[in-house]
Chain A
């Protein structure tokens, strides 16, 4: 993809969101959200289904108007200058919007035409992009014949056809198998690293957010709960790093003795000489444990450190696990199937 030259960044490739609200009747899908995305950043919105992620992305991509608040995307106001915004952004919506009855190449060239691109340029760009998403051999194949992961890569290629400066991805790996997810992740990191694109993505996968995002906003019930880098977010959760250990023989002081170790919040006895230790920082706690064992002449038979995950972060800030949080059904959907 490096051969495709980007437009000079004469405008900011950032996003600024100021007090955006969106109500559907009495439901506040997005409730006074403000944040900033810096140019060249991968910014993620993490939250359960129905948290307002898709609504927010639809507002920022000019598909729906906000009830109140303002936002600029690539320096253009989303309500005042939606066409300038549309020129500057590529969008990969949650539902596949490539046409299954067109070939991969047709999907790209027709999309390029929507941006007013000339015929010859459309064809060259389409080929280059298909090549870059590893679909070079599939140019003449109908989109419906592609696997889920390939189809998603086609959508990404399509979102890039007009060389946008900001790319929006709404749940880019939902429904993909692990291998396809990895290839989409690689593609997203590559886009930022090689081309300096700003990427804005939503996800409800913790590992995805953790792996991809420079900064992350956790949203729940239409509000931003917390915003920071994944690493920083994880350090904010007290006692979320878990050590599991089996000792032989058991400590004379038992769990109470373990709780005196620095940084340890809580200890659960799981079985005979088996403990779960909750601490702020796993490696530090492990070191202290080993020191204690050495002093007391006790052997550590097994030891595993499970560091803080974004699940813990979510649980900490919302009081609920990510998967119990699914409350409001997602908007839209496929409609009914036709009976005739």
Chain B
């Protein structure tokens, strides 16, 4: 028994002497609690709703007021007025809007004539939590409008009847397809974490980097070499997960050459951003425990707030801020646009731009922090 105590003593001494281990043991579960606790099932808020009013009649006013009431209270959506149906639809397809409401011509007249007019609701159903929340809000509006406000005369017992005609913009999207962009981004991240984090620091602590430092290689050549090799590895794993995941989840027309080209572009830019972020984090680290320790925390902090598993619109404000500064968010958004929506550059333009700027900033920081000496 005394011999077993020797092992216990050694392990406990080491455990309580390593601040990194202690922090990870406590921080990882707490971060997961807070992030995951807020990542799922929150009320969807602030979906951008394009509103196209093609009717100039008086009955549009109560409907628009109801929209404003929701925008002010439940805040499910933010109405944005569009003058034409074409522009609103373009914005919806480009992902700038989550839904478009179209109040058709003669809406007021038909309502007054009790012709049961329909308003059109076109939803971006790539995110079912989002489109579901918007649809629920509109069902609510319709119900309210279709109930008599006060007891009326017998002839008026039947209220004017508004119907919401909901159109889903894309074919039915299973959750697996919804999840795929996150998985591909995760593949990039894990490669960056293992290659650019764990192996990099292991090599450093084993003194292998000393072998580089005594040669005439410049700091720029070192940094670009490390980054480029990381990017190549990340691209390989990202594309593999993309193709296999695409086949498994049944993405339609996956092998469209233009789509593949844009996916490759997205992967290159995403890999660059994540690798350079990792390089910045690791520039001054020499303890091989550190990358292993922050792996889990970083994964939780980057993956779940990115909208990979649940829409950002359902997050509390602080987590939406996190989502904004998280490079994952833009990669997930870009992949989702390319895989589930349309093959075009415009919807991913902002993602590419943000990721490129991130890369530039992180690389500048990493080059500054990286020391070409022991």
Contacts and interface: CB of A to CB of B under 8 A. Distances in A.
A51 to B, nearest CB: 18
A334 B214 contact: no
B4 interface: no
A102 B113 CA distance: 84
A64 B210 CA distance: 11
Chain A facing B: main interface SS:
loop
B216 interface: yes
**Which of B214, B217, B286, B374 has the most A CB atoms < 10 Å from its CB?**
B214
A334 B210 contact: no
Interface stretch (A83-91, A189-197, A201-209, A270-278): A83-91
A115 B216 contact: yes
B21 interface: yes
A93 B214 contact: yes
Interface in A239-297: none
Nearest to A93: B210
**Which of A64, A97, A337, A340 has the most B CB atoms < 10 Å from its CB?**
A97
A61 B288 contact: no
B207 A95 contact: yes
Contacts, number: 72
B289 A58 contact: no
A93 B286 CA distance: 18
B288 A64 contact: no
Contacts of A162: 215
Nearest to B214: A91
Nearest to B15: A339
A61 B214 contact: yes
A95 B288 contact: no
Chain B interface: which size bin?
Answer: 20 to 34
Contacts of B214: 61-63, 86, 89, 91, 93
Interface string A92-125: 0101111100000000000100111000000000
Contact of B206 (A65, A87, A95): A95
B41 to A, nearest CB: 32
A179 interface: no
Nearest to A87: B216
Contacts of A65: 373
B238 to A, nearest CB: 24
A340 B21 CA distance: 11
Nearest to B198: A338
